[in-house]
Structure 1
């Protein structure tokens, strides 16, 4: 993706963008130097998982983040 204004939000169908991690940006890596350091979170409502979130921070800019959310059930 080209440079976008701060706070930009993009909505994609997971089937249309199957390789969302290959977006061309430099993300902070784990200690092995190869794997992107992602955090995985989930939101539960009434004890049931309803939302997943993966997020990663940019390598050169801590404020640059990629966050991916998806609903677990229709």
Structure 2
């Protein structure tokens, strides 16, 4: 039996995001879909200003989603 490798990159923030804000990351991805035409840092600012996420958490969500969507 092998242990899975630790999660790295933006996804490593997901457990903390879910615990801190009480919503699954899928919720935040849905929120980001409403502002998908904004630039990276504009999306981060939106999460920070409108939803009171911390900078690191907001940036991790944006970075992950943008990398996933290409």
Determine if the TM-score, normalized by the shorter chain, exceeds 0.5.
no
Greater relative contact order (Cα < 8 A, sep 6+): 2
Structure of higher CA gyration radius: 1
The structure where strand makes up a greater share of residues is 1
TM-score by structure 2 length? 0.29
TM-score by structure 1 length? 0.28
The structure where helix makes up a greater share of residues is 2
